[in-house]
Amino acid sequence: MTRSALSNTNALIYLRENNALPIVSVKAVEFAVTISKWTTRHLTRKALGQLTDTQLRDVGLTPTQADQEAARMFWQI
């Protein structure tokens, strides 16, 4: 997990546990975080599908693995 993802997770836990915001606000933030994750996955998978064989070798993936990952839907982990 990246540092920013961990920071976001900690912030959401803090908001929930300390009732720092109304529940509607907490849910809105959780929704925004989910949409952000989905957008990042979509863009990352799209870029992965455009890498050359040489670039794929550099990151340790075969073209088949890259195609399988690029074909996944944004909500799939």
What is the domain extent for residue 27?
Answer: 23-77
In a domain, 54, yes or no: yes
8 occurs within a structural domain? no
Taken in order 29, 35, 36, 37, the sign of the CA dihedral is positive
Instruction: Answer yes or no: is 73 within a domain.
Output: yes
Residue 47 lies in a domain: yes
Does some domain include residue 61? yes
| SS3 label, residue 62 | coil
6 lies in some domain = no
CA 21 from chain centre, in angstroms, equals 25
Number of domains in the chain: 1
pLDDT tens profile 5-64: 556 677 777 777 777 678 888 889 889 989 999 999 999 999 999 999 999 999 999 999
What is residue 10's predicted lDDT score, i.e. its pLDDT?
76
Q: Is the pTM of this model over 0.95?
A: no
Is 12 within the bounds of a domain?
no
Span 37-48, pLDDT tens digits: 999 999 999 999
CB 33 within 8 A of CB 8: yes
Helical pair 23-48 and 3-17, crossing angle rounded to 10 deg:
160
Residue 3 in this model has a pLDDT that exceeds 70: no
